[in-house]
Structure 1
């Protein structure tokens, strides 16, 4: 995926991150997504794909990945309605290992 680095893509990524966080907190009823944290959004050059970086306090798990995959359509619909986008990008959820590496840098 070729990432975009324009001001427009940065603003759009921030809006998607903010709105997705709001939807997860207020509208999602899946208890597995309760403590999910969206840490960033990266868009490709034509805004057709959005990589959503996330973490969870319990770490990465298959259950969490499955629930995100299951809720992907709900998230896209909510983003389209709330942000009034003509085209909502495909959402790809990617575990953000940066936070774990910062916390667990090998020191006890």
Structure 2
């Protein structure tokens, strides 16, 4: 009987987690683009073939204009970020990254405010 070791999650999920750590570190320590000030990488979702990755980010006091500027900042830094990922990960292909604002924190704040207003006015 052959025993197989099952990992707790799939390879795309493991690669996405490692990609998230590398990108978060690069954004915090290496990028000097003012459009990316205060940006935090919150989640990465990689496709099964690992050719593409959706990178989600959050920023405090986000406005539509700031979000658009941050996305443009990520796009202009994408070549550098791909090189950083290529140096730090052993992948046949470095994923093509697309950047999206993660509004889950804003949604969570909105729900919390609604719950607090209901508790304050029973």
TM-score interval (norm. to shorter): 0.7 to 0.9
Which residue number in structure 1 is paired with residue 100 of structure 2? 94
Match of 2:80 among 74, 81, 93: 74
Q: 1:65 offset after TM fit, Å?
A: 1.6
Unaligned runs of 5+ in 1: 1-5
How much has 1:72 moved relative to structure 2? Answer: 1.0
CA contact 1:54–1:94 (8 Å) conserved in 2: yes
Q: Which has the greater radius of gyration?
A: 2
Secondary structure at 2:56 match in 1: strand
Displacement of 1:30 after TM fit? 1.0
Q: 2:42 maps to what in 1?
A: 39
Which of the residues 25, 28, 31 maps onto 1:28? 31
Report how many residues are paired: 103
TM-score, structure 1 normalization: 0.86
Residue 33 of structure 1, CA deviation: 1.3
Whichever structure has more helix as a proportion of its residues is 2
Give the aligned CA root-mean-square deviation in angstroms. Answer: 1.5
TM-score scaled by length of structure 2: 0.77
